[in-house]
Chain A
Amino acid sequence: MSDDLNLYRTLYRIRRFEETILDEFSSGVFCGTTHTYLGQEANAAGVLSHLNPGDIVFSNHRCHGHFIAYGGDMRALFAELMGKATGIGGGRGGSQHIHWRDFYSNGILGSTVPISTGAALAEKLTGSGAIAVVFIGDGTLGEGVVYESLNIASLWGAPVLYVVENNRIAQTTPIQLSLAGDIPARFTAFGIPTSELDTSDVTEILPVAGQLISAMRAQPGPRALILHTHRFGPHSKGDDTRPEDEVARLRAERDPLSIHAARLSAKDRAAVTKEVDAEVAQAFAQAQADPAPQAAPTP
């Protein structure tokens, strides 16, 4: 089985999972809200392919793609969104607040930057060899604690990779209304080696992320990876204020799935599609049949 095929499978698993969420949301099976990763799949697949067991991932409100690329179970994630006992956190956290193995997410933008920096520092101090990766977005660059953390990470050599997924829109606010200056300079100002890519091609992200992570393992310290990307779906559900033709253009020009699918034979592609469609449908059906948690609160 080729690496290209594995990468495609990861991209398509995320895509199919998120499409299922949006398709089924109106049926009322899910609690609260959701933030889908449609269009950004190559970032998670490209970066997280380089993790070793024990490496740490911190994600944000838009965490489903990171979780799936990390190897998380789709039934448990569906169940978490449905508020079921079998969910990743037994229904306590919901879509934005999940933890499994060394993966953590939180819905407070910026809060994960010092936490992931401290987690990386702990691994360095104990000599485990593990690194941390934290995914943030362009919107999070507005939070002050980010810069406090970059300063300390650089001073103390915390082995943490800051991945900025710049989808150029924070909820409904375009980047030109929320961000002054340039993004890489925010990291290089603190002496953090930084790479930058504007692509939706997973095979372009993969080697650059790999180089940064190898360098971190050889010489512990922070690194930054700026990934200019595009969000195909709404911020959460039905709150996309962008013109439809603009989103359609992005889907036509910057779809990580179609870019990478061109490298596969029609037969392989069809096989993955069939396999993943069935896998996602089964995970959804199982989660739906799963029991609700017991209602008694515990301290």
Chain B
Amino acid sequence: MTNTTVLASLNSALQHAMQSDERVYLLGEDLLDPYGGAFKITRGLSSQFPERVLTTPVSEAAITGIAGGMALRGMRPVVEIMFGDFITLIADQVVNSLTKFRWMYNDQVAVPIVIRAPMGGRRGYGPTHSQTLEKLFLGVPGLRVLAPTALGNPGELLSQAILQDDGPVLFVENKLLYLTQLFNPAGSDFTLAVSTPPDTYAPTYTLALRDAPPPSLTLAAYGYMAELAREAIIKLAYQHEIFAELVVPTQLAPFDAPTLAPLLDSVRRTQRLLAIEEGTLALGWGAEILAGAAEDQGIVLQAARRVAAADLPIPASVPLEAAQLPDVESIVQAAKKMV
């Protein structure tokens, strides 16, 4: 999987999923070729599977509900929400129907649906097309929230979600990841460890500097922020002699002990935890990560901090936007205060 982008990996995964299971349908806005979706993740699929790529009206709630009904009746639909900002429009379907059915109908049904949502800023799209909104959906019982990373195989994660997961999945794709090359540890400054908790197929990656002293700081990040954290690790080591390792989960929810284990293993050694996310700071993923570490009786936390977006809407102006979103420098500055 070297020399390939996250975009190409996701596109191949959709193609593979549709090829291998005729119950897989794609629903979303502007999916048809030659356009192939706003971010081109579905390009080519409507030509190859014209009966199973359904381009829809601008009706996110109904698309999600309709796909949910299809899933309830044995299909494996994939919904594309054009911009992740629009997931507010699908909230009722996800929270009160799709994630509840299996449990409230006493385990008599399954709802295998994957909802893909491109999130994130840094493209100057402004307040309603740049957000990182998945925190609104973290902690919904019955919903698995996945975030692919360029450290692993995004396509494999997506194809497992589509073909193997019998429950609803929100699949969060940071837009800047799309053109990012998949990471290859061979020949890099890093070693990469992968662990997959027993109750999920979504791996957690641990990235450490090769031939470096033992790390004194754990960074936790997901999605595109893992790319920025990787750059920050190099800077911290070469410019500040601070050695950090990076833990990158691909499963954000459910947030349970097995999923958290690789992170806690790292913090147990470093005693310092910096949680990094592109979403707004207050009441977010980072807070939950720090709480998980604080609650672990085997961990003595010397320092804990969060880096995240300002608690404000995202401005369209590129310099204003850059000032509000966390970047490599804000990770470095936060880390320096901890060690």
Q: Which residues of A line the B interface, CB within 8 A?
A: 56, 88-90, 92-93, 97-99, 104, 106, 108, 111-123, 125-126, 144-145, 148-149, 151-152, 155-156, 299
- Bound state CA distance, A151 and B59, in angstroms? 9
Contact B65–A117 (Cβ < 8 Å): yes
Most buried by A among B57, B64, B65, B101: B65
Q: Scoring B residues 52 to 85 as 1 if CB is less than 8 Å from chain A, else 0, what string do you get?
A: 0010110101111111111111110000000000
Contact A119–B109 (Cβ < 8 Å): no
A145-B62 contact, Cβ under 8 Å, with A111-B93, A115-B72: yes
> Which residue of chain A lies nearest to B74 when distances are taken between CB atoms in the complex?
A122
- Bound state CA distance, A51 and B129, in angstroms? 46
Contact A111–B65 (Cβ < 8 Å): yes
Contact A123–B65 (Cβ < 8 Å): no
- Chain A residues near B101: list those with CB within 8 A: 99, 104
- Chain B residues near A106: list those with CB within 8 A: 96-97
Can you spell out 12 A-B residue pairs with CB atoms less than 8 angstroms apart? A56-B73, A89-B106, A90-B106, A92-B103, A99-B109, A118-B65, A118-B69, A118-B72, A119-B70, A148-B57, A151-B62, A152-B57
- Chain B residues near A104: list those with CB within 8 A: 72, 101, 105
Output the least CB separation between B27 and chain A (Å): 9
Indicate the size class of the contact surface on chain B. 20 to 34
A113-B65 contact, Cβ under 8 Å, with A106-B97, A155-B57: yes
A98, A119, A148: the one within 8 Å of B69 (CB): A119
- Chain B residues near A155: list those with CB within 8 A: 57
Contact B97–A111 (Cβ < 8 Å): yes
Q: Which residues of B line the A interface, CB within 8 A?
A: 25, 54, 56-57, 59, 61-75, 92-93, 96-97, 100-101, 103-106, 108-109, 254
A92-B97 contact, Cβ under 8 Å, with A116-B69, A151-B57: no
- Bound state CA distance, A126 and B93, in angstroms? 24
Contact A99–B105 (Cβ < 8 Å): yes
Output the least CB separation between A187 and chain B (Å): 15
Contact B96–A114 (Cβ < 8 Å): no
Sample of 12 more A-B contacts, CB < 8 Å, known A99-B101, A111-B65, A145-B65? A104-B72, A114-B62, A114-B64, A118-B70, A119-B73, A121-B69, A121-B70, A122-B72, A125-B70, A126-B74, A144-B61, A152-B56
- Bound state CA distance, A107 and B320, in angstroms? 44
Contact A152–B106 (Cβ < 8 Å): no
Contact A122–B109 (Cβ < 8 Å): no
Contact B57–A122 (Cβ < 8 Å): no
- Chain B residues near A152: list those with CB within 8 A: 56-57, 59, 62-63, 66
> Which residue of chain A lies nearest to B97 when distances are taken between CB atoms in the complex?
A111
> Which residue of chain B lies nearest to A93 when distances are taken between CB atoms in the complex?
B104
Contact B62–A148 (Cβ < 8 Å): yes
> Which residue of chain A lies nearest to B67 when distances are taken between CB atoms in the complex?
A118
Output the least CB separation between B302 and chain A (Å): 34
- Bound state CA distance, A104 and B71, in angstroms? 14
Output the least CB separation between A296 and chain B (Å): 14
> Which residue of chain B lies nearest to A150 when distances are taken between CB atoms in the complex?
B62
Output the least CB separation between B46 and chain A (Å): 15
- Chain A residues near B66: list those with CB within 8 A: 114-115, 117-118, 121, 149, 152
- Bound state CA distance, A219 and B71, in angstroms? 24
Output the least CB separation between B10 and chain A (Å): 24
Output the least CB separation between A191 and chain B (Å): 14
Contact B105–A89 (Cβ < 8 Å): yes
> Which residue of chain B lies nearest to A123 when distances are taken between CB atoms in the complex?
B73
A93-B93 contact, Cβ under 8 Å, with A118-B65, A121-B69, A121-B70: no
- Chain A residues near B63: list those with CB within 8 A: 114, 152
- Chain A residues near B74: list those with CB within 8 A: 122, 126
Contact B65–A149 (Cβ < 8 Å): yes
B57, B59, B73, B108: the one within 8 Å of A99 (CB): B108
- Bound state CA distance, A122 and B100, in angstroms? 20
A56, A111, A118, A122: the one within 8 Å of B92 (CB): A111
Output the least CB separation between A226 and chain B (Å): 21
Output the least CB separation between B208 and chain A (Å): 33
A92-B61 contact, Cβ under 8 Å, with A108-B92, A115-B72: no
Output the least CB separation between B34 and chain A (Å): 22
Output the least CB separation between B109 and chain A (Å): 6
Nearest first, the 7 closest Cβ-Cβ pairs linking A and B are A118-B69, A114-B65, A148-B62, A118-B66, A148-B59, A99-B105, A122-B73
A114-B68 contact, Cβ under 8 Å, with A148-B59, A149-B62, A152-B57: yes
- Chain A residues near B62: list those with CB within 8 A: 114, 117, 145, 148-149, 151-152
> Which residue of chain B lies nearest to A80 when distances are taken between CB atoms in the complex?
B106
A92, A111, A145: the one within 8 Å of B104 (CB): A92
> Which residue of chain B lies nearest to A111 when distances are taken between CB atoms in the complex?
B97
- Chain B residues near A118: list those with CB within 8 A: 65-73
Output the least CB separation between B29 and chain A (Å): 12
- Bound state CA distance, A129 and B244, in angstroms? 60
- Bound state CA distance, A119 and B68, in angstroms? 8
A122-B96 contact, Cβ under 8 Å, with A104-B105, A114-B61, A117-B65: no
- Chain A residues near B103: list those with CB within 8 A: 92
- Chain B residues near A56: list those with CB within 8 A: 73
A93-B61 contact, Cβ under 8 Å, with A111-B97, A121-B66, A122-B73: no
Contact A122–B56 (Cβ < 8 Å): no
Output the least CB separation between B219 and chain A (Å): 30
- Bound state CA distance, A99 and B105, in angstroms? 6
> Which residue of chain A lies nearest to B56 when distances are taken between CB atoms in the complex?
A152
Most buried by A among B73, B74, B93, B96: B73
- Bound state CA distance, A99 and B62, in angstroms? 21
